[in-house]
Amino acid sequence: MADQDAQSSVGIEAPALPVLRWDELPEGPVLVLLDQTRLPAEEAELVCADVPALVRAIRTLAVRGAPLLGIAGAYGVALAAVRGDDVAEAAELLERARPTAVNLGYGVRRAAGAYRAAREKEADPERAAAVALAEARALHREDAEASGRMARYGLALLDELLPGGGYRLLTHCNTGALVSGGEGTAFAVALGALREGRLRRLWVDETRPLLQGARLTAYEAARNGMPYSLLTDSAAGSLFAAGEVDAVLIGADRIAADGSVANKVGSYPLAVLAKYHHVPFIVVAPTTTVDLDTADGASITVEQRPGNEVTELTFPRIGAAGGDTGGLLVAPAGTPVYNPAFDVTPPELVTAIVTEEGAVSPVTGVGLAELCARSSQV
Ligand code: MRU
């Protein structure tokens, strides 16, 4: 039976195909993903029948974005459990698939913990697998709900910072329905502003090298009838200088205990620009992205990606590192490359962090810890 409830129940303007769904085929259970490497040219599904296939999908960014990685990780554990595979081994493989987004480990540990607890209570493996699947579904639903609450808190904050509306918002990477059980994080706030007639323009950074802004955010903005314009990452400076940006809205992959924010590479330069131009720099992320066990920005592991993502235009064969990707060379073959997937913005450059439990501004470790404590009480 297809599981599309978590997305349809919140009535969102979702992509044409579900971003992620559990299905039970005659040959066994599968996790079906909207293959994000093929967007926007093609809306195609990628069927993962086992954990190694899902790990490949995560590494090649067929499924991506912090909250969705958590959901995928949890379903991955359920997949292993239902298939009768070694759940602990599957959990380890999944958790190691990408290092920066803390949600991945959160989702994996949650489903694996539920499975383990059920087994300890003497449930048979089949019953424990059903418990793991229920946990993945619960996380999927909770993420959709969190998305709606973040949008409301984010809109209230914009109202406070920029009374009058008519916002021109700049965003980076992709933070909409493609990364979430609901409408996303930062993009959900922009969508809320659009519905209230308060959005003048969404500026979309193309987000080199893998173009999540151009391929995915522009796709979502167009589908939602949003007024938007795409710019190259390097055009952001002149856009600020022209006074065309009222606020920056981005998501996060991991927020350290001191409020340092790891997000798609290119976020930190935007924060510096925003500071110089006295423009609010707002991070929107669920509390599942806050990692109180990581003390500060320097302690965050930043994923380094293959050089061919920079030296070649590789679409749709992202991640085919080292081999023949069939990509178009845009630098001499063998050029040494610096290709971090993320950068870290220190808390003093962040105007506010908006979560489903409210916003913290100024950003302090104490404020963040309070929001997280609220969330675990729910
Ligand atoms: O490498 P990606 O595409 O997974 O990176 C995603 C991002 O950096 C997003 O901005 C982040 O996960 C926040 S999405 C809510």
Model confidence at 1: pLDDT above 50: no
**CA separation for the pair 59, 49 (Å, rounded):** 16
- Distance from residue 288's CA to the centre of ligand 1 (Å): 14
- Mutation test of ligand 1: which of 39, 58, 64 has the most ligand atoms closer than 8 Å to its C-beta? 64
**Residues known to be catalytic:** 253
Model confidence at 10: pLDDT above 50: no
- Distance from residue 118's CA to the centre of ligand 1 (Å): 33
Ligand 1 atom 8: residue of nearest CA? 264
- pLDDT tier for residue 233 given thresholds of 50, 70 and 90: very high
Residue 368 contacts by C-beta under 8 Å, 6 or more apart in sequence? 255, 257, 259, 290, 292, 353, 360
- Distance from residue 214's CA to the centre of ligand 1 (Å): 14
The predicted structure's pLDDT at residue 15: 62
- Distance from residue 174's CA to the centre of ligand 1 (Å): 6
Query: Which helix (DSSP H) or strand (DSSP E) does residue 375 occupy?
Result: helix 365-377
Decide: 65 in ligand 1 pocket, CB within 6 A: yes
Given a contact cutoff of 8 angstroms between Cβ atoms, the answer to whether 316 and 216 are in contact is no
Between these two residues, 1 and 85, which has the higher pLDDT value?
A: 85
- Distance from residue 252's CA to the centre of ligand 1 (Å): 7
Tokens for 323, please give them: 């081999």
The predicted structure's pLDDT at residue 321: 44
Model confidence at 213: pLDDT above 90: yes
- pLDDT tier for residue 378 given thresholds of 50, 70 and 90: very low
The predicted structure's pLDDT at residue 14: 57
What would the pLDDT profile of 106-128 be if each residue is shown by its tens digit? 999 999 999 999 999 988 999 99
Q: Give the predicted TM-score (pTM) of the model.
A: 0.94
Model confidence at 323: pLDDT above 80: no
What would the pLDDT profile of 155-186 be if each residue is shown by its tens digit? 999 999 999 889 999 999 999 999 999 999 99
Decide: 209 in ligand 1 pocket, CB within 6 A: no
The predicted structure's pLDDT at residue 17: 78
The predicted structure's pLDDT at residue 123: 81
The predicted structure's pLDDT at residue 315: 64
Residue 181 contacts by C-beta under 8 Å, 6 or more apart in sequence? 6, 7, 67, 68, 71, 139, 140, 141, 142, 143, 144, 147
- If you average pLDDT over every residue of the chain, what do you get? 93
Model confidence at 230: pLDDT above 60: yes
**CA separation for the pair 178, 14 (Å, rounded):** 8
Range name among 2-16, 109-123, 280-294 with the lowest pLDDT average? 2-16
What would the pLDDT profile of 296-308 be if each residue is shown by its tens digit? 999 999 999 999 9
Decide: 171 in ligand 1 pocket, CB within 6 A: no
The predicted structure's pLDDT at residue 320: 43
Range name among 170-174, 217-221, 284-288, 316-320 with the lowest pLDDT average? 316-320
Ligand 1 atom 6: residue of nearest CA? 65
The predicted structure's pLDDT at residue 226: 97
Atom of ligand 1 nearest to the CA of 264: 8
The predicted structure's pLDDT at residue 327: 81
Which of the listed ranges 75-84, 311-320, 330-339 does the model predict with the highest average pLDDT? 75-84
Complex ipTM: 0.98
Q: Which is nearest to 95 in space by CA: 83, 84, 111?
A: 111
The predicted structure's pLDDT at residue 325: 61
Given a contact cutoff of 8 angstroms between Cβ atoms, the answer to whether 291 and 102 are in contact is yes
Decide: 217 in ligand 1 pocket, CB within 6 A: no
CA distances from 284 to 64, 158, 251, 369 (A): 17, 12, 5, 16
Given a contact cutoff of 8 angstroms between Cβ atoms, the answer to whether 16 and 35 are in contact is no
Phi, psi for 129 (deg, rounded to 5): -65, -40
